[in-house]
Chain A
Amino acid sequence: MKSMKYIETIYIAFIIIIQWILLIVIFSLFWGIVTITLYPNNVIDQLVKLVIGLTLLGIWLLEWFYIVNLIYNRIRRCIKMSLDRG
């Protein structure tokens, strides 16, 4: 048990690394989309960039939510199983 003391911290650190990689991918994707589809500086252009950017960030957050819940439920199942075994 002592060696498992910081296991959740390691899980979250792992999730942070995954999210970091995905954030870089998302911004690269975002850049790809806006440079291909949009013309330079005006209000519409900037608003469209904002909407596309926020949509991608929304997807990123939802995926984060999914991973964390998945791992948390797994931790809870492990505890429940060990408690059932006595």
Chain B
Amino acid sequence: MSNIFIYLLFTFVFSILTTKLFSKIGLKTRFIGYDAFKRGHPKISSMGGVALILSIILSMVVAYFLGIVNDYKLFIGVILSFTIVFIIGFIDDLYPNLPGYYKPVATMFGAIPIILLKLYNPILKIFDGIVFRLSIVYPVLIFVSFAVVLNTVNMLDVINGSAATGTFYALIVSLIVYFLRKNTLNSLTLIFISILAGFLILNLYPAKIFLGNSGSLILGTMIMISTIISKTEFPVLISMMPFIHNSFFYLNKVKGFIEHRKLKSEVTHFDENSELIIDACNEDSPLTLLRFIVAYCPKKEYEAFISLVILFTVSSALAVITFIILG
């Protein structure tokens, strides 16, 4: 047991070092973003995806050789899935003018290694007594869920640390529910949590690195793989309610897959003097989560982040309560 904690400490430190490295390298490349909610809109490296994929691959290789992940199919499936998703996101970072349907369609390919290597169990348990055997439909659901979850996480990457914090909460829920069910910790989820914790140190307000599309899609993949392997679909769905709120309202108003940056009307407005995020009050804009959070009382970026943390805490608590009450 002490071995795994030393290993987790190693992945945590390695993740911090890689993230720090790419927060500096990124500023010398074309992979930069402008922090929309800070005075002067400073340049920030958006190579978070590269830092994450390197941390994941190295951590998985070490975990395999240490016997922490001892199933070779799982080892290969996880690495392949993350690599495919990273490439999809990296292409989107390189060519920002790709059509809106590119990401929802392409992200489905991330599910292929999981399905081909049969890393899933086609029994979908909602709660005690409600169990569906979906041998034929379950693989199709994995395909669709990959597209939905990955893009949902991508859509909430709106303020410093928002998507990564939401993912952190979803993974914690998956870990707790798995522990309550099996009385042991899921090593794969633990690895993801320690990598993400290291990354969050530099991604939280004030961020030194952005996720980029490749990073946010990797976060979605972490949620998907952890959920499928540890069979915690329903609790994780509940913990992701703030994500669902955000993407549903976006899609409902926009009526299609359009990137945030290509929206014709402003959703929120940043006041340079007061540093407040204000609802732009455009009838044509989607009622996203951030817009709702600042609708009555404009907020500074860290206050909006606190609001999101409150919502993630509420939904994660409900997810765990569901499992405790209903099984």
Q: Enumerate chain A interface residues (CB-CB to B < 8 A).
A: 1, 4-9, 11-13, 15-17, 19-20, 23-24, 27-28, 31, 41, 43, 46-47, 49-50, 61, 64-65, 68-69, 72, 75-76, 78-79
Asked whether, in the complex, the Cβ of A16 is within 8 Å of the Cβ of B299, the reply is: no
Asked whether, in the complex, the Cβ of B314 is within 8 Å of the Cβ of A17, the reply is: yes
Q: Does B133 contact A (CB under 8 A)?
A: yes
Q: How far is the CA of A13 from the CA of B241 in the complex (A)?
A: 10
Asked whether, in the complex, the Cβ of B326 is within 8 Å of the Cβ of A6, the reply is: no
Q: How far is the CA of A65 from the CA of B249 in the complex (A)?
A: 7
Known: A4-B297, A65-B249. A16 touches B318 (CB 8 A): yes
Asked whether, in the complex, the Cβ of A23 is within 8 Å of the Cβ of B238, the reply is: yes
- For B310, the chain A residues whose CB sits under 8 A away are 6, 9, 13
Q: Does B226 contact A (CB under 8 A)?
A: no
Q: How far is the CA of A79 from the CA of B299 in the complex (A)?
A: 15
**B283-327 contact mask (Cβ, 8 Å, vs A): 1 or 0:** 000010100111111010001001100110011001000100010
Asked whether, in the complex, the Cβ of A8 is within 8 Å of the Cβ of B297, the reply is: yes
**B101-135 contact mask (Cβ, 8 Å, vs A): 1 or 0:** 00000000000000000000000001101101111
Give chain B nearest CB distance to A23 CB in angstroms: 7
Q: How far is the CA of A72 from the CA of B294 in the complex (A)?
A: 11
- For B307, the chain A residues whose CB sits under 8 A away are 6, 8-9
The contact size tier of chain B is: 35 or more
Q: Does B137 contact A (CB under 8 A)?
A: yes
Give chain A nearest CB distance to B69 CB in angstroms: 32
28 A-B residue pairs with Cβ-Cβ distance under 8 Å, sorted by A, are A4-B296, A5-B297, A6-B306, A6-B307, A6-B310, A7-B297, A8-B293, A8-B307, A9-B307, A12-B293, A12-B311, A13-B311, A15-B245, A17-B318, A20-B241, A20-B318, A20-B322, A24-B322, A27-B130, A31-B126, A41-B133, A46-B136, A47-B137, A49-B134, A64-B248, A68-B245, A72-B295, A75-B296
Contact with B294, one of A8, A27, A41 (Cβ below 8 angstroms): A8
Q: How far is the CA of A17 from the CA of B315 in the complex (A)?
A: 8
| Nearest residue, chain A, Cβ from B304 | A9
- For B293, the chain A residues whose CB sits under 8 A away are 8-9, 12
Known: A8-B293, A24-B322, A76-B295. A65 touches B252 (CB 8 A): yes
